[in-house]
Amino acid sequence: MGKDIELAILFADVVGSTRLFEVMGDVRARDMVATCIDVMREATEQHNGTLIKTIGDEVMSTFPTADDALNAAGQMQKQITAHTELRVDGQPVAIRIGCHFGSVVLENRDVFGASVHTANRMTSQAKAGQIITTSATVERLSPEWRASVRQIDVAVIRGQGGEVALYEVLWQTEDVTSMLPSIALNGREARRPRRLRLSVQTTEVVLDEQHPHVAIGRADDNDIVIRGNLISRLHARIEFSRNRFTLTDQSTNGTFVKISGEEEAFVRRDSMPIKGEGLIGLGRIPDRDSPLTIHFVCEDS
3-state SS assignment for residue 164 = strand
Give the integer Cα–Cα distance in Å for 75 and 81. 10
Mean pLDDT computed over every residue of the chain: 86
Rounded Cα distance, 64 and 106, in Å:
13
Q: Which residues contact 21 (CB under 8 A, 6 or more apart)?
A: 29, 30
- Strand-pairing partners, residue 95, are 14
Q: 176-190, pLDDT tens digit by residue?
A: 444 443 333 333 334
Equal fold, 3-177 vs 194-300: no
Strands 3-14 and 50-55, by their bridges, are: unpaired
CA quadruple 145, 60, 121, 234: dihedral sign: negative
For the chain, what is the radius of gyration of the CA atoms? 22
Quote the DSSP letter at residue 158: T
What is the per-residue pLDDT for 2?
A: 64
Q: What's residue 191's pLDDT?
A: 46
Between these two residues, 159 and 8, which has the higher pLDDT value? Answer: 8
First-to-last CA distance in the chain? 58
Contact between 287 and 281 under an 8 Å Cβ cutoff? The reply is yes
Cβ count near 252 (within 10 Å) = 13
pTM of the predicted model as reported, rounded to 2 decimal places:
0.59
Of the candidates 116, 85, 86, 111, the one whose C-alpha atom is nearest the C-alpha of residue 101 is 116
d(CA 77, CA 238): 31
Task: Provide the H-helix boundaries in the chain.
Answer: 17-24, 26-46, 66-82, 114-125, 135-138, 143-146, 173-178
- Spatial CA neighbour of 240 closest among 260, 253, 223, 226: 223
Report the pLDDT value the prediction gives residue 177, as an integer from 0 to 100.
Answer: 41
Which residue ranges make up each domain of the chain? 3-177, 194-300
| Percent of the chain at pLDDT exceeding 70 | 89
Asked if 155 and 163 count as a contact pair (C-beta separation under 8 A), the reply is: yes
Taking each continuous run of H as one helix and of E as one strand, the counts in the chain are: 7, 21
CATH of the structural domain 194-300, one choice from 3.40.1280.30, 1.10.3720.10, 2.60.200.20, 3.40.640.10: 2.60.200.20
State the DSSP H helix or E strand holding residue 110, giving kind and residue range, or none if neither.
strand 110-112
Measure the CA–CA gap between 21 and 300, rounded to whole angstroms: 59
- Count of positions (residues) in the chain: 301
Residues 6+ apart with CB under 8 A from 31: none
102-143 tens-digit pLDDT: 999 988 889 999 999 999 999 988 888 899 999 999 999 998
Do residues 76 and 40 touch, judged by C-beta distance below 8 A? yes
pLDDT band at residue 153, thresholds of 50, 70 and 90? confident
CATH of domain 3-177: 3.30.70.1230
Q: Outline where 126-259 has alpha helix (H).
A: 135-138, 143-146, 173-178
